[in-house]
Amino acid sequence: MPGYTHMQKAQPVLLSHYLLAFWEMFARDGQRLCDCRKRFNVLPLGAAALAGTTLPIDRMQTAKKLNFPQVSPNSMDTVADRDFIAEFIFSAALTMMHLSRFCEDLILWSSDEFGFAEISDAYTTGSSIMPRGPMSTVRAVPEGTIAASSVDTTTKVTRILRYLGRVLAIAE
């Protein structure tokens, strides 16, 4: 099949080579999410509102009993920083971007201009302006919503987290 760059035919490629590219993308996405879990799975017990607690608690014993691999080392960082949330959202957004790219390729491939793929009528709907032109709902809906929502959500959450940490550090 032809490989494209900037919507121009570039080099012949195997379909398997194309599909393996997405295998690599989704494998990295999975690794990124697993790596993110390491920073998320930290016991915050004992941080209290800001500077720790005077209660006689054994954080390491509690972490062991609750299956936390580690305890948070600094109480102020624990209550004021939410970087693990931003990291997860970015990882999820990047995964959605890869999925969006795949969906967009399927849309192009099933068009008359490309003709590389054909989608069953069971998975398509008619176009309001071109009744004879089937549109793949299965591909078009994710492709259109994934890209827009992932970037917007990441930006908003990062902005919220920026001020949330500052408020919590000053609160007490």
Contact (Cβ atoms closer than 8 angstroms) between residue 136 and residue 124: yes
Q: Name the residues annotated as catalytic.
A: 6, 127
Domains of the chain: which residue ranges? Answer: 81-171
Q: What is the largest CA-CA distance in the chain?
A: 73
User: Which neighbouring-strand residues pair with 4?
Assistant: 9
Low-confidence stretches of the chain (pLDDT beneath 50)? 167-172
- CATH C-level class of 81-171: mainly alpha
Q: Which two tokens stand for residue 4?
A: 């494209």
Mean pLDDT of the chain: 80
What pLDDT, on a 0 to 100 scale, did the predictor assign at position 79?
83
What pLDDT, on a 0 to 100 scale, did the predictor assign at position 109?
87
What pLDDT, on a 0 to 100 scale, did the predictor assign at position 149?
64
Residue 71 CA: distances (Å) to CA of 35, 49, 81: 17, 16, 15
What pLDDT, on a 0 to 100 scale, did the predictor assign at position 170?
44
Amino acid (one-letter) located at 145: T
Kindly give, in sequence order, each residue whose CB lies less than 8 Å from that of residue 5, ignoring residues fewer than 6 positions away. none
Distance of CA 61 to the CA centre of its chain: 34
From CA 147, how far away is CA 117, in angstroms rounded? 23
Report DSSP letters for 21-87, one per residue: HHHHHHHHHHHHHHHHHHHHSEE-TT-TTTT---S---HHHHHHHTT-SEE-S-HHHHHH--HHHHH
What pLDDT, on a 0 to 100 scale, did the predictor assign at position 172?
41
∠ Cα 102 106 110 (to 5°): 170
Tokens 């994934």 belong to 146
Contact (Cβ atoms closer than 8 angstroms) between residue 82 and residue 164: yes
pLDDT (tens digit, 9 = 90+) per residue, 125-157?
Answer: 666 666 555 555 555 555 555 655 666 776 777
